[in-house]
Amino acid sequence: MTPNTPTSLSENPFTLGVASGDPLPDSVVLWTRLAPRPFEPGNGMPTEGAVDVQWELADDESFRRLLRTGTTPAPAADNHTVHLELTGLEPGRFYWYRFRTGPWISPTGRTRTAPAAGSDPAAVTFGLLSCQQYDEGYYTALAHLAREDLDAVFFVGDYIYENAINAQAGARNYTGTHQLPAFFDHWTWNLTDYRLRYALGKSDPDLQAAHAAHPWFVTWDDHEVENNYAGLISQNNDPVDVFRARRAAAYRAYWENMPLRADRRPTGPDMPLYRRFHYGRLAQFDILDTRQYRDDQAYGDGWKYPGPESEDPARTLTGAAQERWLIDGWQASTARWNVVPQQVAFSRRKNTTADRSPLSMDAWDGYPASRDRVLAGAAAARTENLVVLSGDVHVHYAMDIKEDFDDPDSRTLGVELVGTSVSSGFDGEERPDDWNLQLAANPHMKYYDGRRGYVVVRLDRTCLQADFRTLTGVLTPGAPVTTAARFVSEAGNPGLSPA
């Protein structure tokens, strides 16, 4: 690759901000994307070669104490994105970083490495995010999250949505010069579509602030490709070769736009996204992918009565290899807390109080044998303090994971924290129409709130604390945030209690 002359960039290329991700004790990924015209195909960049980007790592926000500098290419083949894998860093400490090309300087980002391997940190605090449909509301939750004191953020899916977005950006109701180009008013199908959809989301200043403030661990759900797809099966029953090409484009754009390492780069329609991280001996994080390898939803998807199709013992949500990887990881774990960031609701959710009730065929309820095998694996490994983190449903839930969901008095095996959406679903309501029904039908459900927001989770040596943050609304920017509920679970004695 022959680098282009950086001075040829006559417009600011750092319109989409910076990000960091997947921190290790001695390493972190730093990300940016050059896009002087982010809402145009090609983003106003050369179509071949690469642009040299200088990077700086500092001990302070003002960059008076530079620790390292260097140059890395932003290749046209990768949509001029940078995935800089820094190594040789010190564990458990903050670093500040930025990029330069020609006369342009990027915004400043702050990141933090994980604690040293084998150490016993006193606590780790992280944010839980999901579901940020651009045209259903403002990203105010992310502005508040940027100001939180966090070690990291877990984003568990639906970073973008594939739907057509009109000039007014839907609920954002843009007018005049703020209106969007006509290009966005169609569904995403090819690589250009997906690349531009990420540019749209990443142009939001609140999302940029949240990325700049904290390192992120990311995984996808369905809308990064198409609603409720399953493996290579399209929701709309598109021909497999057509959907394979769409998935390949979506996965490529996802990798390009996330702070992920080179070993996660997709090959065609396949991308190795599930992975494991440790925060000393305090916590192990096993990040799952419940889309790429799953069987098709039973009974045509939706909320259906369970039966032989959904209860087939051969069915899988994770695929056999990922399931084995998860259980083997628990067998080897010495962590006090074993945390599983993933996409769809893990615990059972009935929508009637009858003994036999419809269940969501898209969630783990539609794959009960898969859930049973995972929980049996956790039990066999004597997994301590299991915590499942979920998104997808655009509401807050706090749920106990029961040995037998039909028996509220059965043993509690772990806890599940479901984080509401950033913006998807518009404002939402504190008590949705089915609030009383769901709490009555699911005794293991300790909390349910339908407003927008996020969760802040603190793990220490004795306790989990989950603060469910909510906003008054997302249809207008600047809404205040409040802690609507706080729940705790003791190490060694799983079960959520209000605090």
Q: Cα-atom radius of gyration of the chain, to the nearest Å?
A: 22
Residues 80, 133 share a domain: no
Helix (H, G, I), strand (E, B) or coil at 253: helix
Which residue, of 113, 129, 158, is where some domain finishes?
A: 113
Distance CA 56, CA 69 (A): 5
Strand blocks (E) in 158-258: 216-218
> Exposed, middle or buried: residue 267 (CB in 10 Å: 0-12, 13-18, 19+)?
exposed
Give the model's pLDDT for residue 62: 97
The pTM score is 0.97
Query: Which CATH number is 162's domain given?
Result: 3.60.21.70
Distance CA 200, CA 185 (A): 12
Helix (H, G, I), strand (E, B) or coil at 20: strand
Q: Tell me, what amino acid is at 241?
A: D
Token pair recorded at residue 95: 């670093």
Q: Is residue 470 within 8 Å of residue 481, measured between CB atoms? A: yes
Residues 232, 146 share a domain: yes
Give the model's pLDDT for residue 463: 98
Distance CA 120, CA 264 (A): 29
Residues 149, 78 share a domain: no
Sequence-distant (≥ 6) Cβ neighbours of residue 362 within 8 angstroms: 228, 297, 301, 302, 344
Q: How many domains would you assign to the chain?
A: 2
Mean pLDDT, the chain, rounded, equals 97
Residues 127, 109 share a domain: no
Which residue, of 73, 93, 113, is where some domain finishes?
A: 113
Residues 476, 366 share a domain: yes
Strand partners, 139: none
Residues 385, 271 share a domain: yes
Which residue, of 113, 141, 160, is where some domain finishes?
A: 113
Give the model's pLDDT for residue 262: 98
Distance CA 306, CA 368 (A): 9
Query: Which CATH number is 46's domain given?
Result: 2.60.40.380
Residues 79, 9 share a domain: yes
Residues 109, 163 share a domain: no
Give the H/E segment covering residue 482.
Answer: strand 481-490
Give the model's pLDDT for residue 8: 60
Residues 268, 392 share a domain: yes
Distance CA 78, CA 107 (A): 21
Residues 122, 105 share a domain: no
Token pair recorded at residue 98: 């930025």
Q: Which residues, given as ranges, of the chain have pLDDT below 50?
A: 1-7
Residues 277, 135 share a domain: yes
For 481, phi and psi rounded to 5 degrees? -115, 150
Residues 33, 151 share a domain: no
* Residue-number span of the structural domain to which 87 is assigned: 1-113
Q: Give the β-pairing of 445-449 and 396-402.
A: antiparallel
Query: What angle in degrees, to the nearest 10, is found between the helix axes of 191-202 and 205-213?
Result: 80
